[in-house]
């Protein structure tokens, strides 16, 4: 698991909720190639790893935030997002931003509902 790029915790439990900090499409310390779609797939894979630490999956995600440097790439991001989440459709906000950590094209954060066992 990669270390955070700043002074924050990548995933926090708050009661029955898991809050996952923004994930970019990095693997082994570097952004993956292939543009927005490839970076989003890797960012979701990173998100999944953090959820798994608490026994959760993408099916437990109820809200995501997607941040994009180039909002004109929305269709490519949306297609990759639909592939990653399958039939599960959490609420989502998509926001165009001026820049992201590590020079990423896209970042995703999430709220998941996973009751304490």
Predicted local distance difference test score (pLDDT) of residue 92: 98
The runs of H, that is alpha helices, within the chain are: 35-52, 74-85
85-37-29-20 Cα dihedral, nearest 10 degrees: -30
CA separation for the pair 51, 60 (Å, rounded): 9
Residue 1 has pLDDT above 60, yes or no: no
Q: What is the pLDDT of residues 26-68, one digit of tens each?
A: 999 899 999 999 999 999 999 999 999 999 999 999 999 999 9
Predicted local distance difference test score (pLDDT) of residue 2: 58
4 confidence band (pLDDT: 50, 70, 90): low
User: 71 near 22, Cβ under 8 Å?
Assistant: no
Residues with Cβ < 8 Å from 51, sequence gap 6 or more? 11, 18, 20, 57, 58, 60, 61, 110, 112, 114
Q: What secondary structure letter does DSSP report for 72?
A: G
Residues with Cβ < 8 Å from 98, sequence gap 6 or more? 69
User: Average per-residue pLDDT in the chain?
Assistant: 95
What mean pLDDT is predicted for residues 69-84?
98
């Amino acid at each position: 698991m990669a270390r955070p790029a700043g002074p924050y915790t990548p995933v926090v439990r708050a009661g029955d909720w898991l809050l996952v900090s923004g994930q970019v499409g990095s693997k082994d310390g570097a952004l993956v190639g292939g543009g927005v779609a490839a970076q989003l797939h890797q960012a979701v894979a990173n998100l999944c790893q953090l959820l798994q630490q608490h026994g959760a999956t993408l099916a437990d995600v109820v809200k995501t935030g997607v941040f994009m440097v180039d909002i004109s790439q929305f269709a490519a991001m949306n297609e990759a997002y639909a592939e990653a989440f399958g039939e599960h459709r959490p609420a989502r906000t998509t926001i165009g931003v001026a820049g992201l950590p590590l020079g990423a094209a896209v970042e995703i954060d999430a709220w998941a509902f996973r009751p304490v066992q």
